[in-house]
Amino acid sequence: MNVVVSLDRVSVRYGQQWALREVTASFPAGAVGLLGPNGAGKSTLLRALLGFVSPEHGDMRVLDLDVNTAPVAIRGRIGYMPETDAHVPGMNAVTFVAYCGELAGLPRQDAMQRAHEVLYYVGLGEARYRNLETYSTGMKQRIKLAQALVHDPDLLFLDEPTNGMDPRGRDEMVALVRDIAHEKGLNLILSSHLLPDVEQTCDHVVVLDKGRVAAQGPIAALKGQGAHVYEVRVKGDRHPFVAALAAAGVECHGGDDEPMRVFVPEDRDAQYLFQLAASHHVQIRHLRPSLPTLEDVFAQAVNET
Amino acid sequence: MSAEPLIHDQGYRRYSGRRHPHGSAWTVIARNHIRATVRQRRILALLVFSWVPFVVRAVQIYVASSFEQARFLAATPQTFREFLMQQSIFVFLVSMALGGLIADDRRANALQLYLSKPLTRVEYIGGKLVVLLVFLLGITLIPALMLLLLQTMFSGSFAFVTSNLFLLPAIVLFSFIQSLVSAFALLALSSLTGSRRFVAAMYAGIVFFTSALVQILRVMTGSRAWAWLSPRDVLDAVATMVFRGGTPSIPVPVALLAIAAIVAGSIAILERRVRAVEVIG
């Protein structure tokens, strides 16, 4: 497996607050999701890889280069799409993207040619002569992607690329990211707290929670990791039943208005649930085997940290 | 028949062309800003207006060289010193007009874009510094050198230049000191905020406040010992020294120390403020 980014016991802190603690992770080639709730340390991890923040300790390598010793060379091979709105003021889209290409080392003519191409690719072809200050939120997201792509990086860092987009725009952005990773052959790390975005675009995932790695690996493998999943509805007081499940090491999420998702270890089956329910005077009114989703992986990983 | 090459491929293609080596991004920044600045009519008008004193001095030199009765107007080394000190007002105005160099980037969160490219903070600041120096030297060094050239042309000999050999290096040295001090101070102020108006207000405030403070202290103490607090007085002392105009109002080492302090302080502010991520803590 080709590894494009690796971190070994990396810790970063802002003042007294630890943003990353002893993070050890590998990002293989292809599309990798960086998942985690808000404040988990996803953006900090990307910023550390770009050399924006210095870790207290630990080693980081990007594309076989050491972040400490070769940050400029690394940034020459990376495209970064930041989470927040960002542009160079007073420019139209094509000038801005070409300017970013030149900053990344492209000759002027090539940068301009690629700016046009990339803007068409991200869906801003018709708006490329408009001033960036007049762009909508969705267009600003696309222009950030365009500036990250213009110099044809080997690795893309996309930080919450669908932030603030309407459903249609979000679908289009997800489709673009998927195309970049699967059709154009670029490696990318997609940082997001939106599980469907990651599930639709990535093959691997690294889950961060409270600055630590909660889970990592191929999504398919993580989904199928050692449990039967059931959707369960019960009649009666479910709280003692849920407590009994937890005491028996059976994970359970959801409830109230929606079915509970119960993760029964591989060595047990649905019969076990019926027995436990009966012993706690609860009726199981609905039980359906389900497939594990990334949401389950995420919930399990976050609960374990 | 061979296939025609696509005129416009709307898909994404890999790039296999040439790339400039790292270390030249500051030229891209400088070129882009210079081009954008001269497109602004307001600044262009200011730059043109900054050359009015040059025209006046050029006429003075012409008249003094051409008419016997106007010999009293003949240029001396102090003419060039006075010219450069007069240009201080335009250095001030042009600097204020360019106050958004870093502030605009801060407002638009552009620093993280710049610094995610293969360039260092030194290159970023260097590119912005070059923009300021080009315009400031364009209204100080260039017209002063042209006046020296006109003096030689109108007088028809090199006598003035040869008898004042220090003049050429003095013009170059003082123009650079004057421009560098203004440029560094302005960039530092520009890095403190996201508003170019606030930068202009701070810059004007510092210039006028320090001058006023020195005047007040002079009246109160009867001494010029506090003149080093005012950048204008410091530059005046350096000009007096460089152009051999007598005894400077401030001891030269003190003036040079004050200039070094302004530049060092500005660099310290820039080092702290020009970052892709602002860490508070």
Per-residue pLDDT tens over the stretch A11-36: 999 988 999 999 999 999 999 999 99
Q: What is the pTM of this model?
A: 0.87
Q: What is the pLDDT of residues B161-212, one digit of tens each?
A: 999 999 999 999 999 999 999 999 999 999 999 999 999 999 999 999 999 9
Question: What's the token pair of residue A248?
Answer: 């028996």
* Cβ contact B183:B102 at 8 Å: no
Confidence label for A259 from pLDDT (cuts 50, 70 and 90): confident
Give CA–CA dist A139/A127, Å, rounded.
9
Residue B19 lies in a domain: no
State the smallest CA–CA distance between residue A16 and chain B in angstroms.
7
Residues (pLDDT < 50) of chain B are 1-3, 6
Q: What is the pLDDT of residue B57?
A: 96
Instruction: Give domain status of residue B155, yes or no.
Output: yes
Q: Give the B window 116-145 contacts with A, CB below 8 Å.
A: 116-120
In a domain? residue B5: no
Say if B92 falls within a structural domain.
yes
Cα separation, B216 vs A207, in Å, equals 64
In this predicted structure, what is the pLDDT of residue A226? 63
- Residue B165: give the domain boundaries: 25-275
Is the residue at B80 inside a domain?
Answer: yes
| Higher-pLDDT residue of A272, B177 | B177
Instruction: Give the residue with greater pLDDT, A155 vs A263.
Output: A155
Nearest C-alpha of chain B: how many angstroms from A262? 42
Q: What does the pLDDT look like over A240-255, one tens digit per residue?
A: 888 888 888 888 877 7
Res A153 pLDDT > 90: yes
Query: Is residue B281, in this structure, part of any structural domain at all?
Result: no
Average pLDDT of every residue of chain A: 91
In a domain, B31, yes or no: yes
User: Is residue B16 in some structural domain?
Assistant: no
Structure tokens at A140: 């600003």
Chain B window 204-233: which residues touch A at a Cβ cutoff of 8 Å? none
* Cβ contact, residue pair B25, A105, below 8 Å: yes
Torsion angle of C-alpha atoms A161, A166, A168, A173, degrees rounded to 10? -10
DSSP three-state, residue B247: coil
- Contacts A–B by Cβ distance under 8 A: 130
DSSP string for chain A: --EEEEEEEEEEEETTEEEEEEEEEEEESSEEEEE--TTSSHHHHHHHHHTSS--SEEEEEETTEETTT-HHHHHHTEEEE-SS----TT-BHHHHHHHHHHHTT--HHHHHHHHHHHHHHTT-GGGTTSBGGG--HHHHHHHHHHHHHTT--SEEEEESTTTT--HHHHHHHHHHHHHHHHTS--EEEEEES-HHHHHHH-SEEEEEETTEEEEEEEHHHHHTSSEEEEEEEEES-HHHHHHHHHHTT-EEE--TTS-EEEEEETT--HHHHHHHHHHTT-EEEEEEEE---HHHHHHHHHHH-
Count CB-CB contacts under 10 A for residue A235: 11
**Structural domain count of chain B:** 1
Q: 3-state SS of chain B: helix, strand, coil percent to 5?
A: 70, 0, 30
Measuring CA to CA, which residue among B160, B19, B18, B38 is closest to residue A72?
B19
Q: Residue A293 — very low, low, confident or very high, per pLDDT cuts 50/70/90?
A: confident
**pLDDT at position A208 over 80:** yes
**Predicted-complex ipTM score:** 0.89
* Residue in B closest to A96 by C-alpha: B32
